[in-house]
Amino acid sequence: MGATRTPRGRWIEEGLRALAAGGPEAVRVESLAQALGVSKGGFYGHFGNRDTLLAEMLDTWERESAEAVIDQVEGAGGDPRAKLKRLFAIAAASEGAASGVTAELAIRDWARRDPSVAERLRRVDNRRMDYLRSLFGAFCPDPDDVEVRCMVVYSLRIGDHFIAADHGPRSRADVMELTRNWLLR
């Protein structure tokens, strides 16, 4: 009876977790194997080398953080405001996912040093912004207003994790809810 092979997706998921925790330097075959509780031999049956894993991790992040989210929002239907509300909820729920915000911040940092990662990040950012434009543009007649709303949403998605400000008697959740309501007016 042969050993059960660790699925390719588990290596990718663990790679994204390592990336989120320590950047691309933390994505090491030995460390991933240890975290998965397996030998590193199975890795080479799936990927051949670390660069292949890194590329597939980025493919997975791109697919899960852009196209899969858009498909999920669109699949449930509704008008553009309902879709935006769903998008906001999905984004909030993805905070802890391997392909969520922590991995995204690590990818953004990595993109500062690697032109190929920067190009992929630009593609994801443009896809997301185009989708936001399509939703806001359905009920905002002013293209400048559409662009501002998109930029505010996107800036909040990324920048919220860097802001430590207090909001007086309001919680951060309260302020985010006020912001979402303002954006959807």
How confident is the model over 165-177, as pLDDT tens digits?
Answer: 999 999 999 999 9
How confident is the model over 6-21, as pLDDT tens digits?
Answer: 899 999 999 999 999 9
Domain count across the chain = 1
With pLDDT > 70 as the criterion, what percentage of the chain qualifies?
95
Q: Considering the domain boundaries, does residue 65 fall inside one?
A: yes
Which amino acid appears at position 133 of this protein? R
Q: Considering the domain boundaries, does residue 22 fall inside one?
A: no
Q: How far apart are CA 64 and CA 100, in angstroms?
A: 9
How confident is the model over 95-151, as pLDDT tens digits?
Answer: 655 557 889 999 999 999 999 999 999 999 999 999 999 999 999 999 999 999 999
Locate tokens 């443009």: which residue? 126
Q: Considering the domain boundaries, does residue 51 fall inside one?
A: no
Q: Considering the domain boundaries, does residue 41 fall inside one?
A: no
Could you tell me if 160 and 92 are in contact, meaning their C-beta atoms sit under 8 angstroms apart? Answer: no
Helix, coil or strand: residue 167: strand
Cα dihedral 72, 77, 79, 82 sign: negative
Q: Considering the domain boundaries, does residue 91 fall inside one?
A: yes
pLDDT score for 2:
42
Angle between the N-to-C axes of helices 115-137 and 101-111, in degrees from 0 to 180, rounded to the nearest 10: 130
Domain CATH number, residue 79: 1.10.357
Domain around 112: 58-183
Could you tell me if 150 and 132 are in contact, meaning their C-beta atoms sit under 8 angstroms apart? Answer: yes
Q: Considering the domain boundaries, does residue 176 fall inside one?
A: yes
Q: Considering the domain boundaries, does residue 179 fall inside one?
A: yes
Q: How far apart are CA 160 and CA 147, in angstroms?
A: 19
Per-position DSSP letters for 68-135, written without gaps between them: HHHHHHHHT---HHHHHHHHHHHHHHGGGSTTSHHHHHHHHHHHTT-HHHHHHHHHHHHHHHHHHHHH
Whole-prediction pTM value?
A: 0.89
Q: Considering the domain boundaries, does residue 155 fall inside one?
A: yes
